[in-house]
Amino acid sequence: MKKIIISTGGTGGHVIPAQVLYDYLKDKNDVMITCDKRGFNFLDKKRYKVKQIDVPKINKNLTGFIFFAVYFILSVIKSYFFFKKKKIKILISTGGYMSVPICLAARFLNLKLFLFEPNLVLGRSNLFLLNYCEKIFTYNKKIKNLPKKMGYKNFVIKPLIRKEIIQSKKQFIKKSKYFSLLIIGGSQGAKKFDNLFNEDLIKLSNKFKIKIYHQTSKENLKNLKNFYISNNIRFEVFSYTNELYKIIKKTDLAITRSGASTINELVFLGSPFLAIPFPFAKDDHQFFNARYYTKKNLGWLIRETNLSSNFLYKFVSNLIKNKKLVFQKKKNMENFHKAYDWEQNSSYLNNQL
C-alpha cells in the first residue's frame, strides 16, 4: 500500500479536485491531504484525513517579503519532517502557490511528484515544478504554456467529478414552474456578482416567473437577502456549500465564473451556463476554460468588460421565449459526458502512480 499525500489549498478550484483524487486512491493506498488555512473552508474534514500546513501569500513590499521568505522556509522544513515521519512515497499537487514549499520538501526527499492541472492554461506553480515531476495530469493535450519538450509528461484524464455528483445524476428532481437562475460568483469573484445584475433581475421578475439561487460570501448574505425581499423576487441565498450540485439540478441556467471544477460539474449535470470569467485570474485561465466548452456548444461566454445594462435581461428573456436553445445545450452536454465511468477513471489513475 503506497503512502500518498495530496497537496492543496487556497480556493475551491484546488480543493475540490484534491477530494476527488483522495476518493479515487483511498481504497488501494494510505492517503492524506495537506491544506492551508484558507483551503480548510472548502474541505469536508469529517470525511478526509487532513494535515494543515500554512503557506503565506507573496508580499511585494520589503517587510512583507521578509516575513513571506521566513514563513516559506518554515513551511518547507515542516513539510520535510512531516513527510519523513509518515514515510510518504508519493506527492500529488493540485497546484497553486501554497503547494510549492510542500513540493520542494518532496524534492529534497526524492519523493515521486505528480502534478494536476485542471485549467486549459498551465498554472505558474505547476510550470515551475514541471522539471521535477514524474507526470502532470490534465484534461487536454493542448495546454497553453506547457513547453513542447515537456509534452511527454502530460497524461490526459477525464474531468474529476465527485462520486456523489455522479450518483445524483440518476436522481430525478422535478423543476418548478419558474425559470430558475443560479448565480455562482466563485470563491474569488462572488462580491462582484452580488450587485452586477440587480437592475436586470428586477426587470426579469416583473415580466416572468423566475426564481434566483445566489451563491455569495457569508459577509454579504444579509444584504443580498434584503435586496431580493425588497424587490419581491423569489430567491434562495447561500454561501459556499459542498452540495452545490443539488441546487444545480433545480435550475435552468447558471451565470458563473469559469473555474475548471465549476464548469465541469455544470456540464456533467447538464446545466446550461453563461460564463463570465473572473477578469483577474492568472494568465486569464478562466476565459480559456470557458472558451473550450463554449466552442463545443455547451454554454455561452461573455467578458465582464463587455457586459452592458440590459444584457442579462435580453439574454434570459430570449432563453425563456426560446426553450429549444436551452434544450440543445443540455443535449450536447449529455453526449459530451456519455462515456464517463468512475471506476475506469479510478483504475487508470491508480495505474499511473
Instruction: Tell me the average pLDDT across 3-32.
Output: 93
Q: In this predicted model, which residue has the larger pLDDT, 106 or 173?
A: 106
pLDDT of residue 174: 62
pLDDT of residue 168: 86
Instruction: Tell me the average pLDDT across 165-184.
Output: 83
Assign 316 a pLDDT band (cuts: 50, 70, 90): very high
Assign 244 a pLDDT band (cuts: 50, 70, 90): very high
What structural domains and CATH numbers belong to the chain? 2-157 (3.40.50.2000), 166-336 (3.40.50.2000)
pLDDT of residue 322: 93
pLDDT at position 188 over 60: no
Place of cell 507573496: 58
pLDDT digits (tens, 9 = 90+) for 189-229: 556 787 789 999 999 999 999 999 999 888 888 999 999 99
pLDDT digits (tens, 9 = 90+) for 89-121: 999 999 988 899 999 999 999 999 999 999 999
Using CA of residue 41, residue 279, residue 95, residue 242, what is the dihedral sign?
positive
- Contact indicator for 145, 122 with CB cutoff of 8 Å: yes
Count of C-beta atoms within a 10 Å radius of residue 87: 8
pLDDT of residue 237: 94
| Residue 278, H or E segment | none
pLDDT at position 5 over 60: yes
Share of the chain above pLDDT 90, in %: 70
pLDDT at position 64 over 80: no
68 Cβ neighbours under 8 A, 6+ residues apart = 56, 57, 58, 59
pLDDT at position 304 over 70: yes
pLDDT of residue 109: 97
pLDDT at position 328 over 90: yes
Beta strands in 11-134 (DSSP E): 29-35, 50-52, 90-93, 112-117
pLDDT of residue 351: 93
pLDDT of residue 190: 59
List the single range of 62-66, 102-106, 123-127 with lowest mean pLDDT. Answer: 62-66
pLDDT of residue 282: 86
Q: What angle do CA 99, 101, 102 make, to 5 degrees?
A: 65
pLDDT of residue 172: 65
Burial of 38 (0-12, 13-18, 19+ CB in 10 A): middle
Distance between CA atoms of residues 201 and 182, nearest Å? 12
Burial of 338 (0-12, 13-18, 19+ CB in 10 A): exposed
pLDDT at position 78 over 90: yes
